[in-house]
Amino acid sequence: MSAVSTPPTAPGSTGPTPSASSASSGSTPVRRDAEATKAAILKAARHLLARHAHADITLKAVAERAGVSAPLILKYFGNKDTLFARVMSFEADADALLDAPLDGLGRHMVRHVLVSQTRQGADPLLRIVFAPLHGEQGDILRANFRTQVTARLTARLDGPDAGLRAELAVAGLLGLGVMFGIARSTHVRAAALEDIVDRYAPAVQAHLTPGDAG
Amino acid sequence: MSAVSTPPTAPGSTGPTPSASSASSGSTPVRRDAEATKAAILKAARHLLARHAHADITLKAVAERAGVSAPLILKYFGNKDTLFARVMSFEADADALLDAPLDGLGRHMVRHVLVSQTRQGADPLLRIVFAPLHGEQGDILRANFRTQVTARLTARLDGPDAGLRAELAVAGLLGLGVMFGIARSTHVRAAALEDIVDRYAPAVQAHLTPGDAG
């Protein structure tokens, strides 16, 4: 469901979550192909945006990199600007990231980052690290990150310093994503997912609900 | 002292730590200029390396961006390869990052990241986030990060799963650096440094010395 996940090409990606329709009916393959194509287009746009200014990227370049035709991109995304707005948005990712009750949100978010990384080769938040590379685009990414991720989490928190606590919780998630997906550190990648959740989530949760537990 | 810190141009950068020699003697300005020039050269090389392949970057391009002459770069760094090796190394940064007794290392590392960000506009570890952007250079960055940062921290830890615990501790630091320096999140940047240390360091320390405290 994520707006920017990589198509599931990684080993072990025969994931168990057929989102809406039944698992092996006749219509699913087509739908899945469309989703995979959209994901490939978004991935190509993201790749190019991390390396070039928005104005220098043509639809043709995105199409070539994604292995599709430019008209297909127009069909799915309207035009170049709406495509790039989608790439810059954290909205859909935040929907999934924040989809848990507050008292279990730390575990849910840590698990969601790890599952996204291992199953989709993507990360719900990690696009933000490309922000320093481009001027205006970086500002848009940062503003989106603030309103769509940290401010939205802040609104769910009680007690003092909610804004700071939300940012520190998200910082933990970002660091885990960097270690897993960019530094590709060996022990984190080899450990059982729930082992990392057990070790890492309490600190995230402590920012969200500092009263509970120690 | 850091190999890759930005020259101190940020407000409030009249830092209190004149490292080796006395604070206001005759010879300090020259020495400081040389250090600032070296830092500017490293910063320029880092900037270009995040955007271009190693082979495509000329010494002249680094010199122009740093506002120095190419022969001055040779004088300070030998040649292009030694300059880039220096940019890719976390050695000097890890020296400073890990320079504290184990029982206070969590607080020291969190404080060191924040001080580097606020005082030098740099981060001891954050270069690793540019690793996905270039093939072979990314592999070198990742290998250096592993041997010079996480493995070195691992070697100082007692008890089981030291490698995983070191990586999770470093993950926390990376996330804080991303939030502060790249996402530039408002509350983290506005908060008192020691307030963030108080809130964020216990989780880092818990990975280092899980037996102590709760």
Contact status of A175 with chain B (Cβ, < 8 Å): yes
Inter-helix orientation angle A59-66/A28-49, to 10°: 130
A107 in any annotated domain: yes
Q: Does A134 lie in the same domain as A39?
A: no
Residues in chain A: 214
Using CB atoms, pick whichever of A161, A167, A188 lies closest to residue B179.
A167
Q: And the tokens for A20? A: 């809406």
Q: Inspect the interface and report whether the beta carbons of A172 and B171 lie closer than 8 Å.
A: yes
C-beta separation of B179 from B188 below 8 A: yes
C-beta separation of A166 from B116 below 8 A: no
Question: Exposure of A152 by Cβ count < 10 A (0-12 exposed, 13-18 middle, 19+ buried)?
Answer: middle
pLDDT in tens, B60-73: 999 999 999 999 99
Name the most confidently modeled range: A119-128, A186-195, B5-14, B21-30: A186-195
Closest-CA residue in chain B for A189?
B164
Distance CA B97, CA B93 (A): 6
User: Largest Cα–Cα distance in chain A?
Assistant: 56
C-beta separation of A118 from A15 below 8 A: no
The residue behind tokens 């003697």 is B25
Residues in chain B: 214
Q: Inspect the interface and report whether the beta carbons of B179 and A179 lie closer than 8 Å.
A: no
Q: Inspect the interface and report whether the beta carbons of B164 and A199 lie closer than 8 Å.
A: yes
Tally A–B CB contacts below 8 A: 138
User: Which of A87, A110, A129 is the last residue before a domain boundary?
Assistant: A87
Q: How many CB atoms lie within 10 A of CB B55?
A: 8
Distance CA A46, CA B109 (A): 33
Distance from CA of B202 to the nearest CA of A (A): 8
pLDDT in tens, A120-162: 778 899 889 877 666 677 888 999 999 999 999 999 999 999 9
Q: Does A167 lie in the same domain as A112?
A: yes
pLDDT of amino acid B211: 78
Residues of B in contact with A189 (CB under 8 A): none
Domain count along chain B: 2
pLDDT of amino acid B134: 60
Q: Does A150 lie in the same domain as A137?
A: yes
User: Which of A61, A87, A113 is the last residue before a domain boundary?
Assistant: A87
Contact status of B159 with chain A (Cβ, < 8 Å): no
The residue behind tokens 């057929």 is A18
Query: How sure is the predictor about B122, in pLDDT bands with cuts at 50, 70 and 90?
Result: confident
- Average predicted confidence (pLDDT) for chain B: 83
Flag whether pLDDT at B38 surpasses 50.
yes
B117 in any annotated domain: yes
Using CB atoms, pick whichever of B51, B129, B161 lies closest to residue A129.
B129
Contact status of A59 with chain B (Cβ, < 8 Å): no
B18 in any annotated domain: no
A24 in any annotated domain: no
In angstroms, the Cα distances linking A109 to A54, A143, A200, B39, B134 are 31, 21, 10, 38, 29
Residues of A in contact with B183 (CB under 8 A): 128, 131, 142, 145-146, 150, 174
pLDDT in tens, B82-104: 898 888 899 989 999 999 999 99
C-beta separation of B167 from B109 below 8 A: no
pLDDT of amino acid A32: 60
B7 in any annotated domain: no
Stated as kind and residue range, the H or E segment containing B198 is helix B193-208
In sequence order, the 6+-apart residues with CB closer than 8 A to the CB of B63 are B41, B44, B69, B70, B72, B73
**What letter does residue B127 receive in the DSSP assignment?**
G
Q: Does B99 lie in the same domain as B63?
A: no
pLDDT of amino acid B193: 97
Distance CA B128, CA A189 (A): 17
Report the CATH number that the domain containing residue A78 is assigned in CATH: 1.10.10.60
Distance CA A157, CA A98 (A): 12
Residues of A in contact with B176 (CB under 8 A): 168, 171, 175
Using CB atoms, pick whichever of A133, A164, A176 lies closest to residue B175.
A176
Q: Does B146 lie in the same domain as B73?
A: no
pLDDT of amino acid B133: 62
Distance CA A13, CA A120 (A): 7
A100 in any annotated domain: yes
Distance CA A40, CA A83 (A): 12
Q: Does B114 lie in the same domain as B41?
A: no
Q: Does A199 lie in the same domain as A130?
A: yes
Q: Inspect the interface and report whether the beta carbons of B202 and A203 lie closer than 8 Å.
A: yes
Enter the pTM of the model. Answer: 0.79
Which is more confident, A84 or B168? B168
Using CB atoms, pick whichever of A133, A146, A203 lies closest to residue B185.
A146
Using CB atoms, pick whichever of B133, B175, B181 lies closest to residue A175.
B175
Which pLDDT tens digits describe chain A residue by residue (214 residues)?
333 333 333 333 333 333 333 333 444 556 668 888 998 999 898 888 777 777 788 999 999 999 999 999 999 999 888 898 888 899 989 999 999 999 999 999 999 999 999 987 788 998 898 776 666 778 889 999 999 999 999 999 999 999 999 999 999 999 999 999 999 999 999 999 999 999 999 999 999 999 775 4
Distance CA A166, CA A163 (A): 5
What region does A95 belong to: left with phi over 0, alpha with psi -120 to 50, or beta? alpha
Stated as kind and residue range, the H or E segment containing B136 is helix B135-145
pLDDT in tens, A13-33: 333 333 333 333 444 556 668
In sequence order, the 6+-apart residues with CB closer than 8 A to the CB of A53 are A134, A137
Distance CA A9, CA A11 (A): 7
Count Cβ neighbours within 10 Å for each residue of A79-118 and write b for 16 or more, e otherwise: ebeebbebbbbbebbbebbbeeebeebbbbbbbbbbebbb
Interface pTM, i.e. ipTM: 0.79
Distance CA B116, CA B13 (A): 10
Q: Range of B196's domain?
A: 91-208
Q: Does A106 lie in the same domain as A56?
A: no
Q: Does A104 lie in the same domain as A167?
A: yes
User: Which of B87, B106, B131 is the last residue before a domain boundary?
Assistant: B87
Flag whether pLDDT at B17 surpasses 70.
no
Question: What type of residue is B49?
Answer: L
C-beta separation of A112 from A96 below 8 A: yes
Q: Inspect the interface and report whether the beta carbons of B171 and A167 lie closer than 8 Å.
A: no
Residues of B in contact with A214 (CB under 8 A): 214
A55 in any annotated domain: yes
Q: Inspect the interface and report whether the beta carbons of B51 and A51 lie closer than 8 Å.
A: yes
Closest-CA residue in chain A for B214?
A214
Q: Does B157 lie in the same domain as B185?
A: yes
Q: Does A54 lie in the same domain as A126?
A: no
Q: Does B42 lie in the same domain as B97?
A: no
B3 in any annotated domain: no
Report the CATH number that the domain containing residue B157 is assigned in CATH: 1.10.357.10
- Alpha-helix residue ranges (DSSP H) falling in chain A: 28-49, 59-66, 70-77, 80-88, 91-97, 105-115, 135-145, 151-154, 162-177, 186-190, 193-208
